[in-house]
Amino acid sequence: MTEIINGLITATTPMNMLLCFIGTFVGTLVGVLPGIGPMGAMAILIPATFKITPVGSIIMLAGIYYGAQYGGSTTSILLNIPGEASSVVTCLDGHQMAVQGRAGAALGIAAFGSLIAGIFATIGITLVAKPLASIALNFGPPEYFGLVCLGLTLIIYLAQKSVEKAVMSGLIGLIISWVGMDNVTGLGRFTFGMNELNDGIGIIIVAMGLFGIAEVLINVEESVKPEFVRTKLKNLFPNLQEWRKSIGPITRGSLLGFFLGILPGGGGIIASFTSYGLEKRISKHPERFGTGEIAGVAGPESANNAAAQGGFIPLLSLGIPPNGPIALIMAALIIHGVQPGPLLFKEHPDIFWGVIASMLIGNLWLILLNLPLIPLWVKVLKVPSWILFPLILIFCIIGAYSMSASIFELKLLLGFGVLGYFMRKFDFEPAPLILGYILGPLLENSLQQSLAMSQGSFTIFVTRPIAAACLGIALLLYLSILIPSVKRRLKKFENLEIT
């Protein structure tokens, strides 16, 4: 109890309250604006956290992440365009409610459902994270190597299209993470004789290029003109009948989203779709889904917010990010000299408990931002792209240049922007690349330390039960995904030969 009180004291300092507000405001904004997404916003704003305390930085970045889950529902309901990927399923019933003149009820239940789910997830983190970290304190380098290998299986779960392309993106991320001086030999790797690469490539450059610059290039090429539903935004507080229909979906969505958020690759997208499928399956009138059923808004919106906050458990307890946005938060912690994982509780309790307490405050901020300011978000959606995209470019350039005042860094930024553009054009997803980049150094260091312990023998990974179990599960997960994919390709090849 004392730790939670100390966390509230940390989170309620004027500066941290302001940073929490800024994070949730920006998160709502990027959730409302289709295409930018929380990863792009976080990548752009990480340089702005260099002069902020570590706890303040993570409070702000976390606010952007779970705030985007709130904001995404606004465009889904009013425009039938998901501002955030996890709000795709909200379009099905939310927009139909808006068409029927019930936009206020849809927006209200989305906001209140997200608030309830956020509070539930915050309590869940408090109960689960610390015991999990206590178990992880017994881990040595071999166990961490197995855990990181298991964490890299997230790459196949982050694949929304081709698993093979996701694995290739992850491998590229690993290679990029190993650019620079080797920790053991002191020799340069993948530097191609350029001294500027001896210190490696910073996460800021990689993230802002892949998500900031590339997003602008894609949106300029494929601009979408939104069509607004003309309806009065009134009755934002759902009536008693709407609450009766929604309380069950909100409860189930909160539970489901929280546990899916903890799992590798769970995240808001899977949670929202799973919640929608569950509600439709147990409904007495499944035929009403897709025609403006309020349960089809309440369940998914609760699930994606609970999943966003549940994803902090593996990061804070084990030092393993379960998805792309959490990987960027992990990168921000490392930049500030803080290693997330089981020792975080002992070495930086202010960060752990402060961030958790800030989520309670952030969810309250989001209610104030989402309901009274809906007319403002509608006006923001009308901002022309020729104003918005140059501003994003300016933020990216300033952020990259402020790190080292190097023109070479700007060239790298542009290079990763072009890489991100072509990755999207050829259906290569950038999130697995970021995950590979973040976990690459952890994989290498734990491997080197393990082999030093065993005097070069790889049997240490078999004789240590936890390490062997993690590696075995990781191998099975990869095979379970890749073997069916290979079989499908072989079958297509055989059909071609026959014809």
| Per-residue pLDDT tens digits of the chain, which is 499 residues long | 677 788 888 889 999 999 999 999 988 888 777 656 777 788 888 888 888 889 999 999 999 988 887 777 877 787 766 666 667 678 888 888 888 888 888 888 888 888 899 888 888 888 888 787 777 777 788 888 888 887 777 666 656 567 778 888 889 999 998 898 877 677 788 888 888 888 888 877 887 788 778 877 887 776 555 555 555 556 667 788 888 988 999 999 999 888 877 765 556 666 887 788 888 888 888 888 888 888 888 998 898 888 888 888 888 888 878 777 888 888 888 888 888 888 887 888 888 889 888 988 988 888 887 777 777 776 766 677 677 778 778 877 877 776 667 888 888 989 998 998 999 888 887 878 887 887 888 888 888 889 988 888 888 998 888 889 888 988 887 787 777 767 777 777 666 655 5
Domain chopping of the chain, boundaries: 2-498
What pLDDT is recorded for position 496?
A: 60
What pLDDT is recorded for position 231?
A: 53
With b for 16 or more beta-carbon neighbours within 10 A and e for fewer, the 58-72 pattern comes to bbbbbbbbbbbbbbb
Q: How far apart are CA 177 and CA 281, in angstroms?
A: 44
What pLDDT is recorded for position 225?
A: 54
Confidence (pTM): 0.72
Question: Helices marked H in 46-90 — which ranges?
Answer: 54-79, 90
What pLDDT is recorded for position 172?
A: 92
DSSP code of residue 189: E
Which helix (H) or strand (E) segment holds residue 99: the answer is helix 96-99
Which helix (H) or strand (E) segment holds residue 188: the answer is strand 188-189
> Of the candidates 8, 16, 105, 99, which has an alpha carbon nearest to the alpha carbon of residue 53?
16
Residues 132 and 316: beta-carbon distance below 8 Å: no
Q: Pull the structure tokens for residue 149.
A: 């290998």
Q: Which residues, 6 or more positions from 356, have their beta carbon under 8 angstroms from its beta carbon? A: 4, 7, 122, 125, 126, 129, 312
Residues 59 and 358: beta-carbon distance below 8 Å: yes
What pLDDT is recorded for position 60?
A: 92
The total number of residues written for the chain in this structure: 499
Residues 58 and 330: beta-carbon distance below 8 Å: no
